[in-house]
């Protein structure tokens, strides 16, 4: 599976409209992953038959953490993975998971590391949900 690696953004210097859009993306991603059956590993998105799909595919019924961010971004801002709000959302998520991630990579600042975190054999839907909550909290501290 190929996943792009966006540039990390310093949330302290991020424009307020971008932070607000990033908050919306994270909130929508949380809604997309609203139940354990809506979360998957090792694919951006899956159909009900287990086929790997793009996150914005209408047949998708389960998403990984990165796929949920991408699907939410397609709804609210852009399908461009380099859109500033998408990068801000991913940066907040990377910061959220790095604070509690004890593996070979101390900071998960790239999508591949977010994907690796999502795909870990010990990962659970509740971990993913908590990471989205932490990412939103991080963004909210920069929205003031």
**pLDDT digits 0-9 by tens, 67-77:** 999 999 998 77
Q: Is residue 4 part of a domain?
A: no
Residue 133 structural domain: 12-142
* pLDDT tens profile 99-109: 764 334 444 44
Number of domains the chain contains:
1
Q: Is residue 3 part of a domain?
A: no
Q: Is residue 5 part of a domain?
A: no
Residue with tokens 């994270």: 26
Q: Is residue 2 part of a domain?
A: no
Q: Is residue 1 part of a domain?
A: no
- Please state the pTM of the whole predicted model: 0.80
Spatial CB neighbours of 108, under 8 Å, sequence gap ≥ 6:
94, 97, 98, 101, 114, 116, 117
Q: Is residue 55 part of a domain?
A: yes
């Amino acid at each position: 599976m190929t996943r792009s690696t966006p540039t990390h953004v310093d949330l302290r210097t991020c424009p307020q409209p971008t932070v607000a859009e990033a908050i919306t993306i994270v909130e929508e991603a949380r809604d997309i992953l609203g139940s354990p059956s809506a979360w998957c590993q090792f694919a951006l998105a899956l159909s009900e038959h287990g086929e790997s799909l793009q996150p914005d595919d209408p047949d998708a019924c389960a998403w990984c953490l990165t796929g949920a961010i991408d699907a939410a971004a397609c709804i609210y801002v852009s399908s461009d993975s380099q859109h500033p709000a998408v990068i801000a959302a991913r940066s907040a998520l990377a910061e959220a998971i790095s604070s509690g991630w004890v593996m070979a990579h101390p900071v998960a600042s790239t999508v591949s590391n977010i994907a690796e975190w999502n795909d870990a054999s010990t990962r659970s839907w509740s971990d993913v949900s908590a990471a989205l909550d932490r990412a939103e909290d991080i963004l909210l501290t920069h929205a003031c």
